[in-house]
Amino acid sequence: MAALLQFTINGLIAGSIYALVASGFSLIYSTNRFMHLAHGATVAVGGYILFTLFSLLGWPFFASAFLTLIFTGIFGVGLFRFVYLPLQNKKASNVVLLIASIALLILVANSIQLIFGATVKSIGLITVSKGLNFYGAAITPLQIIIIGVSIVIFVALYVFMKKTKLGRNMRAVADNKELASVVGINQIRVADWSFFLGSVLAGIGGILIGLEQNIFPDMGTMLIIRGFTGAVVGGITSVPGAVVGSYLLGLIENYGIWFLPSGYKDAIAFLVLLIFLVFKPTGLFGLSKGVKQ
């Protein structure tokens, strides 16, 4: 019983991280209609900027975190403006954009490695974490914060998408690009904002991972695979769906290693991804647009 609870808690923690990655990815996908796999690198960028400002330069934590989010958001918009937009202007297909995003992912990951080295780094805000006992399962205060912050963010995101003008514009573009521009919505500005916000979400993920675990140059690849899988499970065109899907993935992964050796965690994520792509690519909550043409 305690084991089940532990796995559930671990699943929720992992799920929170994946959901932060997946929500940004899904936001960008639904607004721009292509897969920005370099989003994983954005998470890494977030983690490393925080590391630089807080651990290396010694600036105060919350100021560092705030600046990290701003820089990460701008980074995301930069990728859009310098790579994706020029390609879109050349009428590049979604497949080409996807390939470009993979190249970007590798480029950024290796740049990080060149600058910071390949060894794992930790951010060291909270040095030793003692787990609190929760009905027989252990959970640290930081982990509680991770789950809590994530849930708050997702609720805020949901409200933003439903109530604010920008949020509605994004959903309009996601729903029907042509109609949205006819109605006068500036597509490029909406795209800019989708990249900014999506990347900020990635930045939050990077910060939390940096605090809870550690950062390393290739962390983006593993994270985008999880985030993408979560988004596919929930429905890649639905941001709330991506969040739910990610929590589900976190839980499946952690229940899965009850039966399998823990090294199989990666394999579980890939298998879930493959199964959904083959049998239910629209996910649990997504729309059918754009899958089988």
Cβ pair 290, 235 in contact under 8 A: no
Our finding on whether 228 is near other proteins (CB under 8 A) is yes
Q: How far apart are the first and last CA of the chain?
A: 47
> Which of 8, 111, 140, 213 contacts other proteins by CB under 8 A?
111
How far apart CA 282 and CA 286 sit, in angstroms, is 5
Our finding on whether 215 is near other proteins (CB under 8 A) is no
DSSP 3-state percent helix, strand, coil across the chain (nearest 5): 75, 5, 20
Number of residues interacting with other proteins: please give it, by CB under 8 A.
45
Our finding on whether 261 is near other proteins (CB under 8 A) is yes
Our finding on whether 186 is near other proteins (CB under 8 A) is no
> Which of 264, 284, 285, 287 contacts other proteins by CB under 8 A?
264
What residues form DSSP beta bridges with 215? 121
**Options 10-18, 56-64, 88-96, 123-131: segment touching other proteins (CB under 8 A):** 88-96
How far apart CA 199 and CA 142 sit, in angstroms, is 22
For residue 284, how many other CB atoms are within 10 A of its CB? 15
Nearest approach in angstroms of CB 82 to other proteins is: 10
Count of residues in the chain: 293
**Options 73-81, 106-114, 147-155, 163-171: segment touching other proteins (CB under 8 A):** 106-114
Closer residue to other proteins, CB minimum distance, 63 or 277? 277
Our finding on whether 273 is near other proteins (CB under 8 A) is yes
> Which of 1, 57, 182, 278 contacts other proteins by CB under 8 A?
278
Q: Which of residues 136-175 bind other proteins (CB under 8 A)?
A: none
How far apart CA 168 and CA 49 sit, in angstroms, is 31
In three-state secondary structure terms, 121 is strand
Cβ pair 224, 21 in contact under 8 A: yes
Long-range Cβ pairs for the range 59-68 (8 Å, 24+): 61/125, 65/207, 68/203, 68/206, 68/207
Nearest approach in angstroms of CB 245 to other proteins is: 15
> Which of 151, 172, 271, 287 contacts other proteins by CB under 8 A?
271
Residue closest to 232 by CA, chosen among 248, 209, 220, 217: 248
> Which of 5, 8, 59, 113 contacts other proteins by CB under 8 A?
113
> Which of 1, 57, 62, 90 contacts other proteins by CB under 8 A?
90
Find tokens 């963010």 and name the residue.
153
Our finding on whether 66 is near other proteins (CB under 8 A) is no
Nearest approach in angstroms of CB 234 to other proteins is: 15
> Given the rule CB under 8 A, which residues bind other proteins?
34-35, 83, 86-87, 90, 92-96, 98-100, 102-104, 106-107, 110-111, 113-114, 117-118, 217, 221, 225, 228, 261, 263-264, 266-267, 270-271, 273-274, 277-278, 281, 290-293
